[in-house]
Chain A
Amino acid sequence: MKKISGNKLLVKALREEGVDILFGYPGACTIDISDEIYKQNYTKVILPRHEQALVHAADAYARSTGKVGVCLVTSGPGATNLVTGLATANYDSVPLVCFTGQVARHLIGNDAFQEVDIVGITRSITKYGITVKKREDLGRIIKEAFYIARTGRPGPVLVDLPKDVMAELGSGEYPGTVNIRGYKPSTTAHIGQLKRAIKMLGKAKRPLFLAGGGVNIARANESFRKMVEITKVPVVTTIMGRGAIPTDHPLFIGNLGMHGAYASNMAVGECDLLFSIGTRFNDRITGKLHAFAPNAQIVHIDIDTASISRNIKVDVPIVADAKEAIDKLLEYVEVCDTAKWLDEISVWKRMHPLKMKLKNGVMQAQDILETINEVFKDDEKIVVTDVGQHQMFTSQYLEVNEKTRMLTSGGLGTMGYGFPGAVGAQIGNPDSTVIAISGDGGMQMNIQEFATAVLEELPLILCVFNNTYLGMVRQWQKLFYGKRYSMTDLRSGAATRRGEEKPPTYTPDFVKLAESYGAKGIRVTKPEEMAPAFEQAKKNRALKVPTLIEFMLDPEDQVYPMVQPGGTLEEMILD
């Protein structure tokens, strides 16, 4: 075979891996790769305006399509700008392959211009990372990177490419198979363990399913719904697991955890069998550990052995892909006698339904989300959130079902994820309605992506829940810090420090800002303006422009219920 450069081999590899979208930002160490992609002109390259936005976009692209998200950035600052996005993807098990440029081998270690040890920096926040030291390893390493990213518990893989390795001529062969001695992910469940779990399910008086993000990642929703309907066992989900079963399903209780529904948290407290699938039992969902599900035996299905019995001691551990395990379970499960248990739960549901304290004639987060549910009822849609109160409101009130998916940074809680995430989701799903929900804080963390969205003609609907504060932090300050609103007022600055009144203008004026990029902007201040604004945004989609809707909200709105940090699930602050 003719010898080819590393750059050429990379492009060949991308083609063979079926990469049709590449998120890239150039620099000296990757300009040759950019050039090769240009010459071969086969893939769509998206140029976000910041590498952090780039990796979030690739992440949401991957989450929403099930494909591997691919990033290409330069060495040094290009690579370090990936860090937050890699950690975000790692925590939420998102398959990414990130190519970073690196200085030539003879310069590595010399403090060369734009040299950083990115593999070292990201070691603890990637599934795997490697610098390609020899040209002859390049093909194998790329092949392995894609394989590692998407198999087992998916995650981000970083491949660092020294410029001279990429220039060197070598074999043009791209391997067809992978064989990694230390990496043999198993997906099939141990049948004996599954049977033990089923036996326990049959004996339980108050069984409860807990679905985490693993159900969504494995695309096990359909199977899971079937299992729930056969067994008649009620379901709670984590935020990442939201949508594992349609949220209007009669057996769905709600989210559990810090901002979970009252009935869900009570049900966890009272259940005698917690049958959990694809969750890490993160502290945000367990509350005080030793008071978590105190009366329950616990079954845990997870693809990652290290997630089992880490926080919560498990009685029946099952290492498996969620879909494979549930499909196997479907062959054996039977209806459980849950009538009495469901009655108890419905009492809790009626006692404290999820509801904001309604204020007459004043627009609240709940109203906005209910309007979204209504206006976009028939749309295939993806809702991408940022992080903060608006995220919790969305996870409480957004209806998630076969038509609707919710993407959110659950594990790391990354502000700035929402907008670029929406960009990536829309690119991967051109026919879906993509709605971003962000706070005025988070929106400003990646606001430059208007350029990408406008130029790529993405008909996004961007909702900014503007409460003029870093709302979620303010909520803690209000509840636990004597209302000392330190560092959370987004409109204060020098004038406030001088004791002057707050500047009355919008900071920024999101509507004008959207318009300055060539997007549409709408401001909503009253409840009756909500639906028309969404209708307008829906129409604007035909114009292939993004529409930003800024909702002016009351800073006093709080997310309830709330479990105090370190408290037990059953001790909720209700309003």
Chain B
Amino acid sequence: MDNTMRKRWISLYVENQVGVLSKISGLFSAKCYNLESLTVGTTEDPTISRMTIETLSDEETYEQIKKQLNRMVEVIKVIDFTEISVVMQELMFIKVKNCSKEDKAELFRIAQTYQAKVRDYGHDSLLLEFVHTAHKNSAIIQYLKSEFKTIEVVRGGTVGIEAITMPKR
């Protein structure tokens, strides 16, 4: 069995009930499973929510995670996203502060390269919106951190859905 730690993704259909989110996240904390990110929202059926869960784990633990999720009464379906073609994106805002004029010009170029939107800007700061994979967003943070004095980051967590044709992670 593959026992290396790696990122794995689960898409989860759950009953849209109070307390379900805390039950799911409570499972991860109670059993000491790693939870990298968890996003949730309702689906086309308002009684059902869908979650995207990202975890860093070995194969054995991952099997347990799926089994433990599956046995919860509120969980309708567990889909393993690790090996199938999915489209995954994460919304991320980065505010760059203490910018000089040159900094701002540079940031506009960066925005163009990374297909980011400039959502707002002022005298010495600028707000960018990125929608990429979590992996790419992380790389962008690293880069901006090294180039600018102060940045503020908000990430929304990954949401994913099975791809129709093109895999993209």
Contacts and interface: CB of A to CB of B under 8 A. Distances in A.
Our verdict on whether A and B bind, yes or no, reads: yes
A305 B71 contact: yes
A181 interface: yes
A127 interface: yes
B122 to A, nearest CB: 39
B75 A306 contact: no
Given A182-B15, A305-B67, A310-B64, A128 B73 contact: yes
Contacts of B26: 123-124
Interface residues of B, number: 23
B72 A182 contact: yes
Contacts, number: 44
B125 interface: no
Interface in B1-46: 14-15, 17-19, 22-23, 26-27, 30
A128 B75 CA distance: 12
Interface in B88-139: none
A277 B125 CA distance: 65
Given A305-B67, A306-B64, A309-B63, A183 B73 contact: yes
A123 B166 CA distance: 40
Given A123-B22, A181-B15, A310-B64, A148 B73 contact: yes
Given A124-B30, A182-B14, A309-B63, A304 B19 contact: no
Contacts of B76: 181-182
A100 to B, nearest CB: 15
Interface size class of A (residues with CB under 8 A): 20 to 34
B72 to A, nearest CB: 7
A310 B67 CA distance: 10
A306 B73 contact: no
A250 interface: no
Contacts of A183: 73
Interface in B51-76: 60, 63-64, 67-68, 70-76
Contacts of A309: 60, 63
Interface in A439-469: none
Contact of A304 (B15, B27, B71): B71
Nearest to B14: A182
B65 to A, nearest CB: 10
B15 to A, nearest CB: 7
B19 A123 contact: yes
B63 A120 contact: no
The CB with the most chain A CB atoms within 10 A, among B14, B27, B67, B73, is that of B73
A119 interface: yes
Nearest to A153: B71
A401 B134 CA distance: 60
Given A181-B76, A183-B73, A306 B68 contact: yes
A180 interface: yes
Contacts of B64: 306, 310
Interface string A143-168: 00000100001000000000000000
